[in-house]
Structure 1
Amino acid sequence: MARYVMHLAFDDDPRRLAARPAHRDHLRRLKEDGRLVTAGPWADDSGALHVYEVADEAELRAILRDDPYTAVDGYEIVLLKEWTPIL
């Protein structure tokens, strides 16, 4: 398994805000499945940080395709990088 850190940027598009409940349900399912370590928005809601534990980047890209935010173009990926935590 590999850990990936993803930094997202948001704008105030009302389509993203409408998709937020479904997006958060999606994240909850990923957390329950053990594929999402943690996720949350920046305090100013300008974006979010997600940490995933998946087999590879292809699995993460598949997760993103299923995210309700993707369907409404609700984010921009600022950073997507494999991460090796030491603590």
Structure 2
Amino acid sequence: MALFAVEYTYSDKTAGARDERRPDHRGWLSGLVADGTVLATGPWTDGTGALIVIDVADEAAARELMAQDPFAQADLIDAVRITGWLPVMGVFND
């Protein structure tokens, strides 16, 4: 299993547009949850970004996938950090 942590950073200047596009963003994520690609997702409690844990083949696949996010397509994400992750204990283990 190849897991990746995708960290989004948001700014206040895109808050209104994100509110408008949120149904599309969450609909896209819901489909990925249903097919097992997204294992967990949610915003930081302070509103500065979000974390998405995905199961894909490699970093290139992760970047390709995240480019399809309606937020990304509308240029509403200030920064994206994608990091490979190897869980050793807990709910994300095999």
Give the TM-score normalised by the residue count of structure 1. Answer: 0.90
The reply to whether residue 85 of structure 1 matches residue 87 of structure 2 is yes
Shift of 1:36: 0.5
Stretches of structure 1 lacking an aligned partner (at least 5 in a row): none
Q: Which range moved further: 13-22 or 24-33?
A: 13-22
Matched with 1:11 is 11
For the Cα contact (< 8 Å) 2:38–2:53, is it kept in 1? Answer: yes
3-state SS, counterpart of residue 34 of structure 2: helix
Once the two structures are overlaid, the 10-residue window that deviates more, 8-17 or 25-34, is 8-17
Give the ranges of 4+ consecutive aligned residues of structure 1 lying more than 3 Å apart after TM superposition.
none
Aligned length: 86
Deviations 1:29-59 (A, max 9, x none): 1111101110000112110111101111122
Structure of higher CA gyration radius: 2
Instruction: State how 1:26-41 maps to structure 2 within 5 Å.
Output: 26-41=28-43
In the other structure, the counterpart of 1:20 is: 22
Q: Note the aligned Cα RMSD (angstroms).
A: 1.2
1:62 maps onto 2:61 in alignment: no
State the TM-score, normalizing by the size of structure 2: 0.84
Gapped regions of structure 2 (runs ≥ 5): 90-94
Moved more, 68-77 or 9-18: 9-18
More strand by share: 1
Calculate percent identity across the aligned residue pairs.
36
